[in-house]
Amino acid sequence: MNNIAGSKSSLTWIVHITVAILVVLWMIPTVGLFISSFRTADQISTNGWWQALFPSEQNLTLRSAAPETQREEGGLFVIDGNLFDEGVVAKISVWGISSRAIDDYTPGQTAELRKGGTVTVQENGDYRMENSEPFTGSRGSRVFVTATQPPKFTLDNYNKMLFEKRNVDGMGKAFLNTFTVTIPATIIPILVAAFAAYALAWMDFPGRALLVAAVVGLLVVPLQLALIPLLKFHQDIGIGKGYLGVWLAHTGFGLPLAIYLLRNYMAGLPRDIIENARVDGATDFQIFVKLILPLSFPALASFAIFQFLWTWNDLLVAKVFLIDATGQTTVMTARIIELLGTRGGNWEILATAAFVSIAVPLGVFFAMQKYLVRGLLAGSVK
Amino acid sequence: MHPAVLGIITIALGVTGCVGYFYFSNLILDTVIFPARGRHAGRNINYANMIRPWLFMLPALIALGLYLAYPVFKTLYFSLTERIPGGGNAWVGTANYEQMLKEPKFWEAMRNNMLWLIVVPALSTAFGLLVAQLTDRIRWGNIAKSLIFMPMAISFVGASVIWKLVYDTRPAEQDQIGILNALYIFFGGSEPQTWLTIPIWNNFFLMAVLVWIQTGFAMVILSAALRGIPEETVEAAIVDGAGPLQIFFKIKVPQIRATILVVWTTITITVLKVFDIVFAMTNGQWETQVLANYMFDKLFRANDWGVGSASAMVIMLLVTPILVWNVRNARKEMR
């Protein structure tokens, strides 16, 4: 018995460790982008996001205040202040005044400036320049420092991407547009599908089995096939590219899953309730509205989440049916693609844009995971 | 008018329209066309009940027919014709298909799609099964599952940005900010690699994104299936002295084979439609083209509806076996 117990506990450890590794592996990509979205452009390009959590040592090129701020102090001309921007807390380990020798001095030492005068730099970035003659020139002197900065995060990126009106890369408008696409495209198919699902589950008519089979078949038809014919159709009937078109398209593409999910769920409702209601003289319409709809809430919620995630995350349908040449109706996914093209290296913009678009589905996901799982289990064709 | 306002109005109109349609058509059927009173009351009720299902299904049938069934045939038609400048289509037979089959880009897309079809479902299902089995035994299993499931909520485009940072490359003299290159250098790699431009291998880096997303799906379904396995079978195996690996592979996996197949086919369909990931990360450059992106290229960049539709038909053709299998299963279940 001892033997078995021993092997079991070591096995449990292996299980714990394997799962932990898998979870970390699955989280790392998202966490990386998430952390990056709170860093400045400089920080992102100097080192990896995994170093953002620790104090980092960086080589910086800083500049003293301009000569025009000098004052006279007992016969000496003096410029003083702090090298770092306001609010920056950093510790200088070495510094220099030439780009070829950036580590000549330690904090507290004094260096001779080439243009005349001296400069003394303290550990916290305080400096004092002294000269017997006035400092000349329009710009301050360069100081090269190696400084250790504590981790620092900023919300500036989000501020800029969401609320700055003049920012051409902004996501504010696209965010609203995405909502405008998503909400009707989620609600309308639910209504249409619920009635059809009730008919397929509880009303008897010839051809019912055939229709259910057809819905199952349509479930896997790639929507790629629908692009050109429908775009042409929309143009022929005068809808063209626009919100109405994209709502209709999402409704059509979402219906097979909606009908399939709802029909399966409704067919599983207890027969007694429905038959009792019929005996009591309720019409089909009353049964549907007063009994079936409330009872089917879990299935309705499951599909609503699916459709919401799918329409929110969609790129292809929006690109084909919605976004016209003016670009006024662009959605977030399409916006991100544009940014990938024009701002490929600016990770602070890309990361923030991506997280603005990811945040809402993630919120829905964590709040309603139960229904999502239930829907997946019911939705995969068995 | 602001589109959001327009959206709210459309929701209101759409919802009242839908409810109104169902309510009034039902009312008219019962009171005007076949009133349940007078001499033919009984007959009328029967007639009304025969028509009502179709009334309930009409909007759905129209939408399904128009948005899914009709386009299949229309695309088939487009794939056999050629647009005439000024409008209309001319019949060209199989010329579009012949032209497509001559294009190296098409064969590249086919080859890559086949790779995707093998690798993504296999890895997603395997990882999903592994996680489902392992998390079943531990206390924090649900949190672990939730975290691995999370990428399901992230758009393909969002995921592409996330993974582009993972694959990012900086010049050799700088610190790497992409974690893959950082690890590569840390473990003795000489030069930072531009992962997405290395032919053949870059396909696998793109597939990783979809595997990352789909594993959660596989895990959820397979985890439910594993829970459904009768305890007695496992207990009997333990009594007979089977080890954990034997129990897993010889007792559990065979019992959930049907579910594994479902997961596999579902992911297969997703793979066939995969477009966003390739479009966002490489746009088919460096030999990473796939069918869906090839089709998009033909339709909207080259504006060639003929060849574009032909490649859409190829995707349809690849989906058809699964479609037939699903329909047959569904019909079996109905009986």
Write the pLDDT tens digit of every residue in B152-177. Answer: 889 999 999 899 888 888 887 777 88
Quick: pLDDT tens for A70-88: 888 877 888 888 888 776 7
Same domain, A374 and A244: yes
B288 within 8 A of B203, measured Cβ to Cβ: yes
Residue closest to B271 by CA, chosen among B226, B224, B217, B234: B217
Residue closest to B333 by CA, chosen among A212, A258, A303: A212
Q: What is the mean pLDDT of chain A?
A: 83
List Cα–Cα distances, B106 to A117, A312, B202, B302, in angstroms. Answer: 71, 31, 18, 14
B75: nearest CB among A225, A256, A358 = A225
Q: How many CB atoms lie within 10 A of CB B283?
A: 17
- Of the residues A27, A45, A219, A220, the best mutation for testing chain B's interface (the one with the most B CB atoms within 10 Å of its CB) is A220
Q: Is the pLDDT of residue A1 over 70?
A: no
Residue A63 to chain B, least CA–CA distance (Å): 23
Same domain, B317 and B200: yes
A192: nearest CB among B63, B153, B300 = B63
Tokens of A146: 């190696």
CB contact under 8 A, B67 and A249: yes
Residue A155 domain-assigned? no
Same domain, B65 and B113: no
Q: How many CB atoms lie within 10 A of CB B77?
A: 13
Q: Is the pLDDT of residue B54 over 70?
A: yes
Same domain, A240 and A363: yes
Residue A172 sits at the chain B interface (C-beta within 8 Å): no
B295 within 8 A of B312, measured Cβ to Cβ: yes
Same domain, B63 and B7: yes
Q: Is the pLDDT of residue A67 over 90?
A: no
Tokens of A268: 């599983």
Same domain, B71 and B135: no
Same domain, B45 and B164: no
Same domain, B114 and B14: no
Of A149, A181, A209, the residue that ends a domain is A149
A213: nearest CB among B224, B313, B330 = B330
Quick: pLDDT tens for A234-271: 888 888 888 888 888 999 999 998 998 898 888 888 88
User: For A94, phi and psi rounded to 5 degrees?
Assistant: -140, 160
Residue with structure tokens 């693609």?
Answer: A337
Quick: pLDDT tens for B97-125: 888 888 888 999 999 999 999 999 999 99
Determine the pLDDT at residue A24: 92
A353 within 8 A of A171, measured Cβ to Cβ: yes
CB contact under 8 A, B153 and A11: no
CB contact under 8 A, B26 and A211: no
Confidence class for position A7, pLDDT limits 50, 70, 90: low
Q: Sign (positive/negative) of CA torsion B283, B319, B300, A342?
A: negative
Residue A154 domain-assigned? no
- The DSSP annotation for B138-204 comes to STTHHHHHHHHHGGGGS-HHHHHHHHHHHT----TTSPP-SHHHHHHHHTT-SS---GGGSTTHHHH
Residue B271 domain-assigned? yes
Give Cα A325 distance to the centre of its chain: 25
Determine the pLDDT at residue A8: 61
Same domain, A81 and A212: no
Same domain, B175 and B129: yes
SS3 state of residue A136? coil
Determine the pLDDT at residue A2: 40
Same domain, A270 and A317: yes
Tell me, what CATH number does A292's domain have? 1.10.3720.10
User: For A136, phi and psi rounded to 5 degrees?
Assistant: -115, 175
CB contact under 8 A, A347 and B165: yes
Of B46, B79, B112, the residue that ends a domain is B79
Tell me, what CATH number does B155's domain have? 1.10.3720.10
Residue B93 domain-assigned? no
Same domain, B266 and B314: yes
Same domain, A9 and A86: no
Residue B90's H or E segment, with its range, is strand B89-91
Give the neighbor-by-neighbor strand order of the sheet with A110-112. A71-73, A76-82, A126-131, A118-121, A110-112
Residue B200 to chain A, least CA–CA distance (Å): 22
**A110 residue type, one letter:** T
Confidence class for position A381, pLDDT limits 50, 70, 90: low
N residues, chain B: 335
Tokens of A165: 């009106």
Domain containing A190 equals: 160-379
Cα(A244)–Cα(A235) distance, rounded to whole angstroms? 12
Same domain, B22 and B138: no
Strand A142-149 and strand B81-83: the pairing is: unpaired
Same domain, A202 and A255: yes
Residue B55 domain-assigned? yes
Determine the pLDDT at residue B210: 93
CB contact under 8 A, A192 and B4: no
Same domain, B143 and B24: no
Same domain, B19 and B163: no
**A258 residue type, one letter:** A
CB contact under 8 A, B71 and A226: yes
CB contact under 8 A, B63 and A251: yes
Residue closest to A321 by CA, chosen among B62, B67, B310, B82: B67
Q: Is the pLDDT of residue A5 over 50?
A: no
Most confident of A344-348, B45-49, B114-118: B114-118
Between positions 309 and 368 of A, the ones with CB within 8 A of B are: 309, 312-316, 319-320, 329, 333, 336-337, 340, 347, 350-351, 353-354, 357-358, 361-362, 364-366
Of A121, A149, A177, the residue that ends a domain is A149
Rg of chain B's alpha carbons, rounded to an integer? 27
Residue B8 domain-assigned? yes
Residue B48 domain-assigned? yes
Same domain, A82 and A193: no
Cα(A284)–Cα(A293) distance, rounded to whole angstroms? 12
Q: Is the pLDDT of residue A90 over 50?
A: yes
Within chain A, strands assigned E span 56-63, 71-73, 76-82, 91-96, 110-112, 118-121, 126-131, 142-149
Same domain, B106 and B202: yes
CB contact under 8 A, B18 and A233: no
CB contact under 8 A, B279 and A227: no
Residue B89 domain-assigned? no
Q: How many domains does chain B have?
A: 2
Average pLDDT over residues A161-184: 81
Domain containing B300 equals: 101-334
Residue B95 domain-assigned? no
Q: Is the pLDDT of residue A109 over 60?
A: yes
Cα(A135)–Cα(A131) distance, rounded to whole angstroms? 7
Residue B52 to chain A, least CA–CA distance (Å): 8
Same domain, A39 and A168: no
Same domain, A237 and A307: yes
A14: chain B residues, CB-CB within 8 Å? none
Residue B96 domain-assigned? no
Average pLDDT over residues B4-28: 79
Cα(B171)–Cα(B180) distance, rounded to whole angstroms? 14
Quick: pLDDT tens for B227-238: 888 888 888 888
According to DSSP, the residues that pair with A98 across neighbouring strands are: A101
Average pLDDT over residues B232-251: 87
Residue A138's H or E segment, with its range, is none
Cα(A153)–Cα(A162) distance, rounded to whole angstroms? 18
Of A51, A66, A84, the residue that ends a domain is A51
Q: How many domains does chain A have?
A: 3
ipTM attached to this prediction: 0.86
A228: nearest CB among B151, B280, B308 = B308
